[in-house]
Amino acid sequence: MAAIGAAVLVLLGLCLGGAAAAVPLVIWHGMGDSCCNPQSMGYIKKIVENKIPGIYVLSLKIGSNLIQDMENSFFMNVNDQVREVCSQLAKDPHLKGGYNAMGFSQGGQFLRAVAQRCPSPPMLNLISVGGQHQGSVYGFPRCPGESSHICDWIRKTLDLGAYTQAVQEHLVQAEYWHDPLKEEDYRKNSIFLADINQERGINETYKKNLMSLKKFVMVKFLNDTMVDPPISEWFGFYKSGQAKETIPLKETSLYIEDRLGLQEMDKAGKLVFLGVKGDHLHFSEDWFYSTILPFLQ
């Protein structure tokens, strides 16, 4: 009887604790957005919480309020943002056992930097929704939300000198600006993307940390009019020296030389490439539930 009673208590504990055992989720918004916008990150947080009872969802905020958070998505040095996020995650007791991460647009490559630079607490799965992993906004074709005046200024600034020190230090989009016609300038002067993509040498820690992910999921929007080239969302890019022909990840030197461990991850089944019809960050709730939610459970 004592053994049966103990077994019942164990089963009861599992049932009561099942919801609380959900893997926490960290999300990072894109350019011109904020952590808690009810039409974007607030909406994502809500639908995840509705489908996974008891889950802890942290929507990252960079700054003391929503206005600062939005402005920092344009003007705060990305390396400083990543350091701030790493500090937030390390101090959060909910995350000490590990967490899943989901980044939207530029938040995708920023969370990849977190995975590569800050292995504690451990990131388990990384979901990049429209992230530009080989760089992008080459030509900056369209602007999000109501930030058109900011984007007009950014376009002019990038055209004048994306790889100057002042612009690199203070303009987020310049830090992942990848000009295929100026590859040497990019490799030498990009203070963020060229670093996390191992363009100037191999940081074995970056490689080891990224390879520790269980899954690296990359979502590409098949009708994207904002990201140029859209294949950057699957880690592809333009062939060097021109801006017309693109190549997939497997034909890039990054993959062939396996500078980030992506080739090894691919062979191990850790890379997941998903395509969804629609423009940048346009997807249905049903698609999210059926395609993305399984990676969070």
- State pLDDT tens for residues 192-207: 999 999 999 999 999 9
Residue 170 placed within a domain: no
The CATH number linked to 128 is 3.40.50.1820
The answer on pLDDT for 129 being more than 90 is yes
| Pairwise pLDDT comparison (168 vs 138), residue with the higher score | 168
Residue 138 placed within a domain: yes
Residue 162 placed within a domain: no
Residue partners of 72: CB distance under 8 A and separation at least 6: 62, 63, 81, 172
The answer on pLDDT for 231 being more than 70 is yes
Residue 177 placed within a domain: no
Residue partners of 77: CB distance under 8 A and separation at least 6: 169, 170, 172, 175, 191
Residue 111 placed within a domain: yes
φ/ψ of residue 176, rounded to 5: -125, 20
Q: How many domains in the chain? A: 1
The domain containing residue 83 runs over which residues? 25-144+204-237+246-295
Residue 228 placed within a domain: yes
The answer on pLDDT for 158 being more than 90 is no
Q: In the prediction, which pLDDT does 240 show?
A: 82
Please give the model's pTM, rounded to 2 decimal places. Answer: 0.89
Residue 198 placed within a domain: no
Which band of pLDDT confidence, cut at 50, 70 and 90, is reported for residue 137? low
Which band of pLDDT confidence, cut at 50, 70 and 90, is reported for residue 148? low
Q: In the prediction, which pLDDT does 141 show?
A: 56
Which band of pLDDT confidence, cut at 50, 70 and 90, is reported for residue 14? very low
Which band of pLDDT confidence, cut at 50, 70 and 90, is reported for residue 17? very low
Residue 16 placed within a domain: no
* Catalytic machinery residues: 105, 224, 280
Q: Where are the alpha helices (DSSP H) in the chain?
A: 2-17, 41-51, 66-75, 78-91, 106-117, 148-161, 165-170, 183-189, 193-196, 204-211, 253-256, 262-267, 285-287
Q: In the prediction, which pLDDT does 2 show?
A: 40
Which band of pLDDT confidence, cut at 50, 70 and 90, is reported for residue 136? confident
